[in-house]
Amino acid sequence: MEKSDIINFSALEKELHAALEADRKYQRENDAKFRALHQNVASYEEFRDIVLASHLKPLDKNDISGAPRKQPWNTVAAELKHASHSHELVQPQLTEIKPRSTSEFSRDWRRFGGSSYEKYNLLLKLGGKTLQKIFSTEVCFGLLGEFLLILSQCLKSGDEETVIGVLDGLSKTGRFGLNLSLLSQAEQKACEELFNRLGEYYSNYNDSPVMSLDFSEPLGVCEVRHVETDVNDILVKLKALMEKYGIQN
From 149, 178, 177, select the one nearest 47 (Cα to Cα).
178
Check whether 225 has a pLDDT greater than 50. Answer: no
Report pLDDT for 4: 52
**Residue 76 pLDDT exceeds 50:** no
pLDDT in tens, 91-124: 567 878 899 999 999 988 988 888 899 999 999 9
Given this model, what pLDDT does residue 3 score? 52
* Positive/negative CA dihedral, 45, 47, 48, 50: positive
Q: In angstroms, rounded to a whole number, what is the distance separating the alpha carbons of residues 246 and 161?
A: 20
Span 139-187, pLDDT tens digits:
988 899 999 999 999 999 999 999 999 999 999 999 999 999 999 999 9
Alpha helix (H) ranges present in 135-184?
Answer: 143-154, 160-171, 176-181
Q: Domain segments of the chain: what residues?
A: 8-57+70-90, 92-249
pTM higher than 0.75: no
Q: How far apart are CA 47 and CA 67, in angstroms?
A: 25
